[in-house]
């Protein structure tokens, strides 16, 4: 429709040019002779109208040399049944055709898809045709979607339903807790939208596109409104709090004293909160009204918890960790609250894994903690099936792969981890250097009790989600389990108790015979069975 209007505007401009010049200079007939155009249609193509009475209206335009002649507009249902048809003689360069709702009992039409066929001709017999469709909806107002939801860490990436409160306008009262969020039009993520630029207009992010980043929403309840026609949204606090400043940011050595990454939210009168920030011993910083030092800023040379305007940098003296920061813009008091250490005590695997094919955090697979900040898990994985890492069995503190450095993890989303081929993998996450390694493993049995001795592995067979097995003849000697015919990854039993330890002691076979040997690399613990048949 916008293109047609632009063409018509160009036509008017050309007419002005015609009348400002002589006929010898411009061929008027050529400039004003074109097929008839359709300026607007109501209901618009692919739009929704509320169930009830409505008219069908089509507007046309044409040139002076070939004015409008006739138009026919036909309404039919999605099964091809004709409901109304109107033919009208037109005249001039602009005209319209209206089919009143009373002629086809518009208020009695049920919800569903309907079609409008349009044909218009001009006095030279030039013809334009168009077919469009629209939907009659049971919604209380016009909208492009039948439902709308908000999702994010605040509801464990669930579905907070929004209400249609005006044409194309969806609303929810919600506390986004200053975290990431997305909009979606079904519970199961058929289409979703995010605002990666944090500019107040969302874009389609279906299929794993970026979330709206943390900091694009305040903490505390807001009235969230979204227009599914313009894709613009607003957030207004339910309660207006007193404040002496327009905003608050933490600027320090960790962000080169510039940027809006660490933005506070006003949560009560004069009280600003930054939910999470990594602070390390020796970090220096200030509180600033803007994301640079263009406005006022506050430091604290004495380190007594009360800031001074334009004071010296604050030096952090506590241990390295994630902290919550609170600042009062009236008293200038500030405080730090420990949230969690740099290294999580536990880690979980979630995603489209062969073992647990769902993105439900409650079903996430636990990692084994094998060192300070180091976790590993053995699990089958498939190409095209991404996965992520959770600090708890919900979406708070989730980790994905850094798009710029695929061998490393980065917090709060980013892209899914992937493997390049199907297989059984050792997945190892090291928070000391933020590295992520995915090692495909084929397992075998080795030792002087096996047919191949200590030189050749006897291959085992993948049994199920976490088990490998083999049936073979063994002598009364020693065995171990190892991956990929090498010693980089191997298991033994230090305590002869049926538990496996990485690089552990050789396992004794008590007597010669035919055995079924099963290695179980379950997340809850690594064990094996040595059963004589």
Which two tokens mark 98? 């209206």
Domains and CATH numbers, the chain: 2-137 (2.60.40.2550), 149-237 (2.60.40.3620), 249-319 (no CATH), 348-440 (2.60.40.3620), 443-532 (2.60.40)
Q: List the one residue out of 503, 282, 228, 465 whose CA is nearest residue 357.
A: 465
Which two tokens mark 458? 């006897």
* Three-class secondary structure assignment of 139-176: CCCCCCCCCCEEECHHHCCCCEECEEEECCEEEEEEEC
The percentage of the chain sitting over the pLDDT mark of 70, rounded to a whole number, equals 93
Please give the pLDDT value at position 260: 84
Confidence of residue 395 (pLDDT cuts 50, 70, 90): confident
Confidence of residue 29 (pLDDT cuts 50, 70, 90): low
Q: List the one residue out of 429, 364, 354 whose CA is nearest residue 394.
A: 364
What is the phi/psi pair of residue 10, to 5°?
-65, -40
- Which residue is it, tokens 């168009």? 130
Please give the pLDDT value at position 31: 59
Confidence of residue 12 (pLDDT cuts 50, 70, 90): very low
pTM above threshold 0.75:
no
Q: Is the pLDDT of residue 233 over 60?
A: yes
Please give the pLDDT value at position 413: 57
Please give the residue that has the higher pLDDT: either 352 or 388: 388
pLDDT, mean of residues 239-249:
88
Q: Is the pLDDT of residue 275 over 60?
A: yes
Cβ–Cβ < 8 Å for 37, 127 = no
Query: Residue 27: CB partners within 8 Å, gap ≥ 6?
Result: none
Query: 297 - beta bridge partners?
Result: 288
Please give the pLDDT value at position 193: 96
Query: 324 - beta bridge partners?
Result: 337
Confidence of residue 292 (pLDDT cuts 50, 70, 90): confident
Burial code of 86-113, b = ≥16 C-beta within 10 A, e = fewer?
A: bebebeebebebebebeebebeebeeee
Residues 473-531: tens digit of each pLDDT: 999 999 999 999 999 999 999 999 999 999 999 999 999 999 999 999 998 899 999 99
- Cα 260–266–269 angle (5° rounding)? 150
Cβ–Cβ < 8 Å for 476, 504 = no
Query: Residue 206: CB partners within 8 Å, gap ≥ 6?
Result: 189, 190, 191, 192
Q: Which of 25-34, 68-77, 360-369 has the highest mean pLDDT?
A: 68-77
Three-class DSSP category at 7 = helix
Give the chain's largest Cα–Cα span.
114
- Cβ count near 72 (within 10 Å): 16
Query: Residue 268: CB partners within 8 Å, gap ≥ 6?
Result: 241
Which two tokens mark 500? 């496996």
Please give the radius of gyration of the chain, using alpha carbons only, rounded to the nearest integer: 34
**What mean pLDDT, rounded, does the chain reach?**
89
Cis check: omega of the bond before 43, within 30 degrees of 0: yes
Three-class DSSP category at 321 = strand
Residues 278-287: tens digit of each pLDDT: 999 999 999 9
Residues 128-186: tens digit of each pLDDT: 999 999 999 888 888 889 899 999 999 989 999 999 998 899 999 999 888 899 999 99
């Amino acid at each position: 429709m916008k293109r047609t209007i632009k063409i018509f505007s160009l036509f008017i401009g050309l007419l002005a040019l015609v009348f400002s010049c002589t006929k010898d200079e411009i061929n008027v007939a050529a400039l004003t002779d074109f097929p008839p155009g359709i300026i607007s249609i109501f209901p618009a193509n692919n739009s929704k109208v509320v169930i009830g009475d409505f008219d069908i209206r089509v507007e046309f335009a044409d040139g002076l040399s070939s004015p409008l002649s006739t138009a026919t507009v036909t309404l039919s249902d999605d099964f091809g049944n004709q409901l109304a048809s109107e033919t009208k003689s037109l005249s001039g360069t602009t005209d319209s055709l209206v089919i009143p709702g009373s002629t086809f009992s518009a208020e009695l039409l049920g919800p569903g898809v309907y079609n409008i066929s349009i044909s218009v001709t001009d006095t030279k017999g030039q013809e334009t045709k168009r077919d469009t469709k629209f939907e009659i909806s049971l919604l209380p107002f016009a909208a492009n979607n039948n439902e709308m939801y908000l999702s994010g860490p605040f509801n464990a990436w669930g579905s907070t339903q929004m209400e249609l409160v005006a044409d194309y306008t969806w609303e929810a009262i919600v506390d986004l807790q200053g975290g990431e969020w997305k909009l979606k039009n079904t519970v199961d993520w058929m289409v979703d939208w995010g605002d990666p630029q944090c500019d107040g207009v969302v874009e389609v992010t279906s299929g794993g596109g970026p979330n709206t980043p943390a900091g694009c929403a305040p903490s505390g309840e807001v009235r969230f409104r979204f227009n599914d026609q313009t894709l613009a949204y607003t957030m207004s606090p339910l309660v207006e709090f007193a404040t002496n400043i327009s905003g608050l940011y933490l600027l320090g050595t960790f962000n080169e004293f510039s940027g809006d990454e660490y933005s506070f939210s006003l949560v009560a009168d004069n009280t600003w909160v930054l939910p999470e920030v990594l602070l390390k011993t020796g970090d220096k910083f200030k509180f600033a009204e803007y994301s640079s030092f263009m406005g006022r800023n506050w430091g604290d040379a004495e380190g007594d918890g009360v800031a001074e305007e334009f004071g010296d940098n604050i030096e952090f003296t506590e241990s390295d960790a994630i902290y919550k920061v609170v600042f009062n813009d009236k008293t200038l008091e500030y405080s730090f609250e420990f949230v969690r250490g740099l290294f999580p005590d536990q880690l979980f695997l979630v995603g489209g894994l062969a073992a647990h094919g769902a993105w439900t955090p409650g079903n996430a697979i636990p990692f084994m903690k094998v060192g300070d900040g180091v976790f590993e898990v053995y699990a089958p994985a498939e190409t095209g099936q991404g996965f992520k890492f959770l600090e708890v069995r919900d979406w708070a503190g989730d980790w994905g792969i850094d798009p710029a450095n695929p061998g490393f993890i980065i917090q709060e989303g980013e892209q899914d981890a992937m493997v390049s081929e199907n297989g059984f993998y050792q997945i190892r996450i090291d928070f000391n250097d933020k590295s992520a390694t995915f090692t495909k493993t084929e397992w075998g049995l080795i030792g002087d009790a096996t047919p191949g001795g200590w030189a050749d592995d006897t291959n085992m067979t993948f049994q199920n989600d976490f088990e490998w097995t083999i049936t073979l003849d063994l002598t009364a000697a020693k065995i171990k389990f190892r991956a990929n015919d090498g010693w980089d990854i191997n298991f033994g039993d230090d305590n002869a108790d049926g538990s496996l330890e990485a690089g552990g002691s050789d396992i004794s076979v008590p007597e010669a015979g035919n055995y079924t040997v099963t290695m179980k690399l379950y997340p809850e613990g690594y064990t094996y069975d040595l059963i004589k048949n």
